[in-house]
A and B are shown apart, each in its own frame.
Chain A
Amino acid sequence: MISTNPNSFLGSVAPMRRVVSLGILALVVGGACKKAPSGEASPAEKLSIQNIGSDTMVNLAQAWAEEYAKVEPNVSVEVSGGGSGVGIAALINKTADIANSSRKLEPAEEEKAKQTGHATPTEFLVGYDGLAIFVSKNNPIDHISVEELGEIYREGGKITKWSELGVTAIPGAKSDDIIRISRQNNSGTYHYFRESVVGKKSDFKQGSLDMNGSKDVVEQVAKTPGAIGYAGLGYATPQVRIVKVSKVKGGPAVVPSIATVHDKSYPISRPMFMYTPGAPAPHVKKYIDWTLSPAGQKLVELTGYVPLAK
């Protein structure tokens, strides 16, 4: 084709230059899109709240922010994760209006915040995170210890068979193997389970079925007789059984519930906090009050966490 018509060859040189410039344009636009969420300034009259911290809480914080945009259109809440430590660092550096943290502030951090912010950070308890251990409906296991869970899920952990937990026959199960259902490796639930059960610096045993959501975990456990999985309490369905958990082997086994999470007797649970540098500004205070209101607490339940005691 090219050899029969010399013009088409010459003509294609100019478009080539256009190709290059359009390519650059595409990349510039791509780069701009990527940075847009942080760089985009809200209109002057619009108040914004920087909400940084815990990855565990990031889904909840996002749900709150989205819902609050409907309640109070003039306030935009900008949520980002990174971890409780990142949130607290931002609090100390005064770059966050609210820091989300799934642990209490350490005294040293409080001291530091006082020095830079000239005030003690204010603590708000906004809910609890509690993970339930699910097995299929017909699995006869009654209770399990945190230690045993660790052995099941940890890289190098010893327990791989149900018989090692004293469970000999699960109706419908095709083998004795424990089928581990887990989460994708950047979910907050995965991080919390690793921290509280597997071990902070340890890793999960490979070969677990990594689901994309807590709901999928529960559904998969329901469909697989030999499976075990973990998810927020709020995700329980009639097709699965919740196993009682004891802190140590032989210790008292506790059923996870809003009550046992509140009285701290259930071992795989923790409080979730929001911190503000000193006393919160009025619009920030209003936002936190809203998260603590029935409407805000309803979202705590809907996102799979445990709401505050009424």
Chain B
Amino acid sequence: MGERAVKLPAESMATNRARTGGRSDGARRRAWEGPLERGIEALIRLCGVSAILFVFAIFFFVVREGAGILFSGFDFVEFLFSSDWYPTSLGNVRYGVFALIVGTFSVTVLAMLIAVPFGLGGAIFISEFTSPRVRETLKIVIELLAAIPSVVWGFIGLSLMNPLIQQVFHVPIGLNVLNGALLLALMSVPIMVSIGEDALKAVPDSYREAALAMGATRWQAVHRVLLPAAKNGLLAAVLLGVGRAVGETMAVLMATGHAVNIPTSPFDPVRTLTATIAAELGEASVGSPHYQVLFVIGILLFTITFVVNLTADLIVKGRGRD
């Protein structure tokens, strides 16, 4: 909605300028301006399609590296449903990623349980309940939170949260699902806040004014009018946070304990799909079955994040319709 509003005036301005420029300055300027214009246009078009190009090239590369094992009788059932991950065993090599999938999802789900209330609450507060000055300050601080590199988060998890969790919850291991989920929650809150706030901002002021005019309190206006009106945008905010959490590598590698394990409580260590690739790809010899299986995990991850992002996208598209 916002995008469309911005695009149209810009476009018409550009065409206007081209028309008047061509007419008033005559052939002298047009001689070099024409090719320049076309050159710039081509360049910009290239920038535009480059994203598509990179995504396809990456996908192609990942599939090509994994293809060797993928298309030669690869046991998908064992891959997806066995939790025996022994890629370098000498006696019995097994590639089962079930525990890794469960690890990824357990950390992501717990992270979202923590992050969604904070993220959406923050978005509602910033968009509806603060003075402009507080809003600007909060936004800057939250953006700062988003700018912290994930390895720094991982370090915090490893050295600060690790002993803290052991002491507070009286558990033997501080590197566990909870530790990773807390970090991921902190990392995805800024995304949720800024996208959620945009979604709330996109609700026309007439809705707020109408609600207040009907005698609703501010909270009633938010709860009954704004949230339903902005629900698609808010859902998209959550899903982008999920995408961030599923794909995050460094922080979870450091904070979750990196243990192939199906967790029975938030205090069990786990290992995620991304962390497995990060830890093992460097030393797996190029082209070996282990190397190829790691790329198959990459394809799996690519599929998961693609589905999440596509869902978010479709929801955002649907926003204008209702």
Contact = CB atoms under 8 A, between A and B. Distances in A.
A and B part of one assembly: yes
A206 B280 contact: no
A187 interface: yes
Interface stretch (B82-90, B183-191, B236-244): B82-90
Interface stretch (A97-105, A119-127, A207-215, A259-267): A207-215
B224 interface: no
B259 A210 contact: yes
Interface stretch (B50-58, B144-152, B193-201, B309-317): B50-58
Interface bracket on B: 35 or more
A70 interface: no
A299 interface: no
A27 interface: yes
Interface in B247-288: 253, 257-261, 269, 271, 279-280, 283-286
B210 interface: no
Given A26-B53, A223-B163, 10 more contacts: A15-B46, A19-B53, A19-B56, A184-B280, A206-B83, A207-B259, A209-B269, A212-B253, A223-B166, A225-B172
Contact of B170 (A174, A185, A191): A174
Contact of B61 (A11, A18, A27, A210): A27
Contacts of A225: 172
A188 B42 CA distance: 52
Given A27-B60, A179-B172, A187-B283, A210 B88 contact: no
Contacts of B92: 201, 203
A251 to B, nearest CB: 27
9 contacts: A15-B45, A23-B56, A27-B60, A185-B280, A210-B259, A210-B279, A212-B253, A223-B166, A225-B172
Interface bracket on A: 35 or more
B172 A175 contact: yes
Contacts of A201: 90-92
A174 B259 contact: no
B60 A19 contact: no
B292 interface: no
Contact of B171 (A174, A206, A220): A174
Contact of A27 (B57, B84, B86, B285): B57
B80 interface: no
Given A179-B172, A224-B172, A30 B61 contact: yes
A164 B174 CA distance: 23
A179 B175 CA distance: 11
Interface in A177-209: 177, 179, 184-187, 190-191, 194, 200-203, 206-209
Contacts of B90: 194, 200-201
The winner among A11, A34, A207 for most chain B CB atoms within 10 A is A207
B269 A15 contact: no
B261 A207 contact: yes
A186 B253 CA distance: 16
B258 A209 contact: yes
A105 B89 CA distance: 24
A22 B53 CA distance: 8
